[in-house]
């Protein structure tokens, strides 16, 4: 845990120069309190508002640093023609990207469908990132996870560095090497995801939401940070890049919190409880209640709070979705809406996520797609939310 905290991107001891933005619209006391999140009430300066959980500044994520490094890359004079990617034999790369496409299509149908409206270069890049994330997760959760040692993760990190230095190890790594060559991606979110996997191997209880949030940032918030440089920010957007990156990060957090709530029963059978221990206690619950799989009134009330918090993060993410490049908005809205529907499904199961797995049927999923599309059509806000009310 301490090693995890020492990461430069998530360092609670660093000066919170970045401030995680919370739109005024969401600063209603009830919503914040229910989500266990507080924001200084009188501050209206968007850039000064800091998110905190239970009074503790919860994200000292130096998203700011990542944004800066990525925009520097964006503005750099290196042109693709002037500096061809050394690992890129066109035929070889085409085949490798095809493989990424198949992996994405097989394992993440919604993400895959969402990429269909994106430009050729962007969709290939998202598939490459998807595959790298999936492979990273497989190290901890896949069939060979029993053989996982810290050396394996160290080696995976070394391979990542080689990818960023243009020296990929295999054909799938080559697609990511090509992607980081074409888009202004920073290595930090990728390294942080590996750190999240390390955390998962060392830790199976989370004392409070702050600890859980950190885990969610590592394994999912990072995906948002990796995706924005590929998806692109709308040229007409008037929000700061950092605000948009924060929204992307919140989508990852909301997704992961939802994953966790859906999988409570399944995780319990592996001896894992990804729920804040202090909040369980507040509802008179403990690990034993999770393992006994009895859905009591206390459990239902506890779950209501957890669901409310996940929805809160989706609401925050919504602010950023239409700030992305037009062609990238639909996949983001689709994933946001479909994940939200998992929360609805937990409610429909009367909060039984101990013996049942929340499921969203195919028809419901299909019906959400045109709605997501319509949402993606609206123009990005030109005035920040706190000025429009």
Work out how close the CB of 141 gets to Mn ion at its nearest, in angstroms, rounded to a whole number.
4
Q: x/- site string to Mn ion, residues 105 to 144, per CB under 5 A?
A: --------------------------------x---x---
SS3 call for 378: coil
* Distance separating alpha carbons of residues 30 and 39, to the nearest angstrom: 12
Work out how close the CB of 134 gets to Mn ion at its nearest, in angstroms, rounded to a whole number.
9
Q: Which among 150, 230, 151, 163 has a CA at the least distance from the CA of 190? A: 163
Work out how close the CB of 124 gets to ligand LST6JFWI at its nearest, in angstroms, rounded to a whole number.
12
Query: Does residue 234 contact residue 48 with C-beta atoms inside 8 Å?
Result: no
How far from 221 is each of 188, 244, 257, CA to CA, in Å?
Answer: 12, 13, 11
Q: Which among 93, 222, 113 has a CA at the least distance from the CA of 168? A: 93
58 contact, one of Mn ion, ligand LST6JFWI, none, CB 5-8 Å limit per kind: none
287 scored as a contact of Mn ion (CB under 5 A) = no
The string over 349-358, giving b where at least 16 C-beta atoms fall within 10 Å of a residue's C-beta and e elsewhere, is bebbbbebeb
278 scored as a contact of Mn ion (CB under 5 A) = no
DSSP state of 197: H
169 contact, one of ligand LST6JFWI, Mn ion, none, CB 5-8 Å limit per kind: none
Work out how close the CB of 325 gets to Mn ion at its nearest, in angstroms, rounded to a whole number.
29
Residues lying near ligand LST6JFWI in the complex (CB under 6 A) are found at 111, 114-115, 126, 129-130, 133-134, 137, 141, 219-220, 223-224, 227-228, 244, 247-248, 251-252, 255-256, 259, 317, 320-321, 324, 331-332, 335
Q: Please give the biggest Cα pair distance in the chain.
A: 65
Residue nearest to ligand LST6JFWI (CB): 320
264 contact, one of ligand LST6JFWI, Mn ion, none, CB 5-8 Å limit per kind: none
What the block records as the tokens of 231 is 């998806």
Closer residue to Mn ion (CB): 137 or 344: 137
Residue listed under structure tokens 């195919």: 362
111 contact, one of Mn ion, ligand LST6JFWI, none, CB 5-8 Å limit per kind: ligand LST6JFWI
Work out how close the CB of 235 gets to ligand LST6JFWI at its nearest, in angstroms, rounded to a whole number.
15
Q: x/- site string to Mn ion, residues 215 to 254, per CB under 5 A?
A: ----------------------------------------
Work out how close the CB of 226 gets to ligand LST6JFWI at its nearest, in angstroms, rounded to a whole number.
6
Is the torsion defined by CA of 98, 100, 106, 110 positive or negative? negative
263 scored as a contact of Mn ion (CB under 5 A) = no
Closer residue to ligand LST6JFWI (CB): 227 or 242: 227
Contacts for 9 with CB less than 8 Å, ≥ 6 apart: 61, 62, 63, 65, 66, 188, 189, 192
Closer residue to ligand LST6JFWI (CB): 177 or 317: 317
Q: Which among 240, 261, 230 has a CA at the least distance from the CA of 332? A: 230
317 contact, one of ligand LST6JFWI, Mn ion, none, CB 5-8 Å limit per kind: ligand LST6JFWI
Work out how close the CB of 339 gets to Mn ion at its nearest, in angstroms, rounded to a whole number.
15
Work out how close the CB of 162 gets to ligand LST6JFWI at its nearest, in angstroms, rounded to a whole number.
20
The string over 20-32, giving b where at least 16 C-beta atoms fall within 10 Å of a residue's C-beta and e elsewhere, is bbbbbbbbeeebb
Long-range contacts of 11-16 (CB under 8 A, 24+ apart): 11/60, 11/62, 12/57, 12/60, 13/60, 14/60, 14/62, 16/50, 16/57, 16/60
Work out how close the CB of 272 gets to Mn ion at its nearest, in angstroms, rounded to a whole number.
11
Closer residue to ligand LST6JFWI (CB): 39 or 140: 140
Q: Which among 354, 208, 359 has a CA at the least distance from the CA of 267? A: 354
Residue nearest to Mn ion (CB): 141
Residue 388: Cβ within 10 Å count: 10
Query: Does residue 51 contact residue 16 with C-beta atoms inside 8 Å?
Result: no
Closer residue to ligand LST6JFWI (CB): 58 or 332: 332
Closer residue to ligand LST6JFWI (CB): 108 or 295: 108
């Amino acid at each position: 845990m301490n090693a995890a905290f020492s990461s430069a991107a998530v360092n609670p001891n660093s000066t919170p120069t970045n401030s995680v933005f919370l739109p005024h619209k969401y600063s209603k006391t009830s919503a914040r309190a229910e989500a266990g999140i507080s924001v200084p009430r009188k501050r209206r300066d968007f850039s000064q508002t800091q998110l905190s959980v239970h009074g503790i500044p919860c994200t000292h994520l130096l998203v700011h640093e990542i944004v800066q490094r990525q925009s520097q890359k964006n503005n750099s004079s290196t042109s693709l023609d002037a500096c061809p990617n050394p690992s890129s034999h066109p035929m070889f790369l085409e085949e490798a990207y095809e493989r990424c496409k198949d992996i994405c299509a097989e394992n993440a149908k919604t993400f895959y469908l969402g990429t269909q409206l994106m430009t050729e270069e962007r969709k290939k890049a998202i598939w490459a990132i998807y595959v790298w994330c999936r492979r990273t997760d497989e190290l901890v959760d896949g069939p060979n996870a029993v053989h996982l040692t810290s050396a394996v993760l160290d080696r995976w990190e070394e391979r990542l560095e080689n990818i960023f230095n243009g020296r990929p190890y295999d054909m799938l790594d080559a697609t990511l090497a090509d992607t980081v060559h074409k888009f202004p991606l920073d290595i930090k979110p990728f390294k942080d995801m590996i750190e999240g996997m390390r955390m998962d191997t060392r830790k199976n209880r989370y004392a409070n939401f702050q600890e859980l949030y950190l885990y969610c940032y590592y394994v999912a918030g990072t995906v948002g940070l990796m995706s924005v440089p590929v998806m692109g920010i709308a040229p007409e957007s008037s929000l700061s890049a950092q605000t948009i990156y924060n929204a992307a990060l919140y989508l990852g957090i909301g997704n992961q919190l939802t994953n966790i709530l859906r999988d409570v029963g399944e995780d319990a059978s592996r001896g894992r409880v990804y729920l804040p221990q202090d909040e369980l206690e507040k509802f008179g619950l403990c690990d034993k209640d999770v393992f006994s799989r009895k859905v009591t009134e206390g459990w239902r009330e506890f779950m209501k709070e957890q669901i409310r918090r996940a929805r809160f993060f989706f609401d925050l993410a919504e602010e950023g979705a239409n700030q992305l490049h037009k062609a990238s908005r639909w996949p983001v809205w689709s994933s946001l809406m479909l994940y939200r529907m998992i929360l609805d499904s937990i409610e429909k199961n009367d909060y039984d996520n101990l013996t049942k797995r929340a499921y969203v049927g195919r028809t419901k999923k299909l019906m959400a797609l045109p709605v997501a599309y319509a949402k993606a059509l609206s123009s990005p806000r030109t005035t920040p939310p706190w000025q429009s009310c």
